[in-house]
Amino acid sequence: MGSSFGHLFRIHTWGESHGGGVGVALDGCPPRLPLEPAEIQLELDRRKPGQSRLTTPRQEEDRVEILSGVFEGRTTGSPILMMVHNKDARPAAYEHMKDVFRPSHADYTYEAKYGIRNWQGGGRASARETIGRVAAGAVARKVLRQHGVGEVHAYVSQVHGIEAKVDPLGVTRERVEASITRCPDPEAAEEMESAIDNARRRGDSLGGVVTCVAHDVPPGLGDPVFDKLEADLAKAILSLPACKGFEIGSGFAGTKLTGSTHNDPFFAEAGKVRTRTNHSGGVQGGISNGEPIYLRVAFKPTATIRIEQDTVGRDLEAAKLEGTGRHDPCVLPRAVPMVEAMVSLVLCDHLLRQLALQGAAGELP
C-alpha cells in the first residue's frame, strides 16, 4: 500500500479512522532543528474535527505525542515518530454498511484490489489519515524557514459557485483564520458559511477550491523530466482525500491565451532575475524560478450524505443507502492545512535535494 512519500525528507503515514490511533514516521529531518510539540499541535488544531458547525461533530483533541527523534527540544537526525490517539471512534455506526458499497467512496475499489476492506469509517481511506501529513508538514515548515523560504499560505477561494475576490499574494494566515470557512474575503466567507450550513441541514454536501501560495521559494528547486517540481506538487496534492483537480500558474485558463501574452518576461532587480508576470506559477522547466508558487486545488463534495442513494452490495443486489456517521458537509475549511502541509513537504524535500546537489558540486563547505 502506497503510504510513503518523499525522497530525502520522507514520510510514512499509518493508522485508520476508527482504530487505536494515527500518525507518521518522518525520516530525513536534519539534526539540531529546534522543535516543540506545540508547533506541531498548532497545525493539527487547524485540521481537527469539531471546530465549528461547518465541520464534522466528531470530538477529537488530536493531541500529538512525539515518540522518537527529538531530544531536549531539538531533532536528533533519527526518525521522528508522531502519534495521535483516536478518542471518539464509533465503529459500530458503520456496521449496517459493511456489506454495501457507499457511492463515490473507496469501499468497492479497496475490496476489488485487496479482497478485504475496513468498513469502519473507511479505514485507511478516511481523511483522518492526513493527521500524519499535517504533523510532518509542520516539521517541514521549520526546515524551510531555517533556510529562508517564506510562508506557505492556503485559503478557501471557492465553495460551490461562490468565489472569493482577493489578491492571493496579499493573503495572510490572520485573514484566513478570521472566518470558520477559512476564506479571507469577508463577504464571500459569509455567503460560503450560509451555503455550507444549508447543505448540512439538507443532509447534502458541497465542494470547492483551495488556493495556495508559497512565498520566497529560491530558484533551482525541482528536477527535470519525471521529478519536476510541479509534478511532485501535483502528486502530493492529488493524494489528498476528496481532491479531484490541480492547477499551477495559469492552469487551464492559460489555454485561452497566446504565447505572446502567456510568456513571463524577465527583468533584473536588486541583483536577481525576476519575471514581470507569473503565468508559470513560479515553476519553469520543472524548476522553481524564484517567483511565488501559485496553485489551486479542487475538492469534490463530501461523499457521505444523509440523502438516500442507489447502490449495490457484495451480493450484487440493488440496495438503498442513506449515509450515517459524522462527516463534514464541506471539506474545504479543514483541507486548508492539509494543502499547506503537502506543499511544504514537497518544497522541503526538494530543498534538501538541492542542498545535497550543491554540496556534491563543491558549492557548500
Contact 193, 54 (CB under 8 A): yes
Amino acid sitting at position 287: I
pLDDT of residue 321: 85
Q: What is the mean pLDDT of residues 34-56?
A: 88
Question: Nearest-CA neighbor of 152 among 351, 291, 340?
Answer: 340
pLDDT of residue 58: 67
Residue 90: band (very low, low, confident or very high) from pLDDT cuts 50, 70, 90:
low
Condensed to tens digits (0 to 9), the pLDDT of residues 126-161 reads 889 999 999 999 999 999 999 999 999 999 999 999
Look up the CATH superfamily of 4-360: Chorismate synthase AroC (3.60.150.10)
Q: What is the mean pLDDT of residues 249-261?
A: 97
Contact 24, 135 (CB under 8 A): yes
Report helix angle 332-360 to 37-47, nearest 10: 140
Q: What is the mean pLDDT of residues 331-350?
A: 97
Q: What is the mean pLDDT of residues 290-305?
A: 96
pLDDT of residue 359: 83
Residue 365: band (very low, low, confident or very high) from pLDDT cuts 50, 70, 90:
very low
Residue 364: band (very low, low, confident or very high) from pLDDT cuts 50, 70, 90:
very low
pLDDT of residue 98: 81
Task: Say how far apart CA 230 and CA 254 lie, in whole Å.
Answer: 16
Question: Nearest-CA neighbor of 65 among 50, 81, 49?
Answer: 81
CA dist 320 → 116, 139, 308, 349 (Å): 22, 45, 6, 46
Contact 346, 233 (CB under 8 A): yes
The SS3 assignment for 268 reads strand
Task: Say how far apart CA 349 and CA 182 lie, in whole Å.
Answer: 27
Task: Say how far apart CA 52 and CA 50 lie, in whole Å.
Answer: 6
pLDDT of 122 higher than 90: no
pLDDT of residue 324: 67
H-helix or E-strand containing 273? strand 272-275
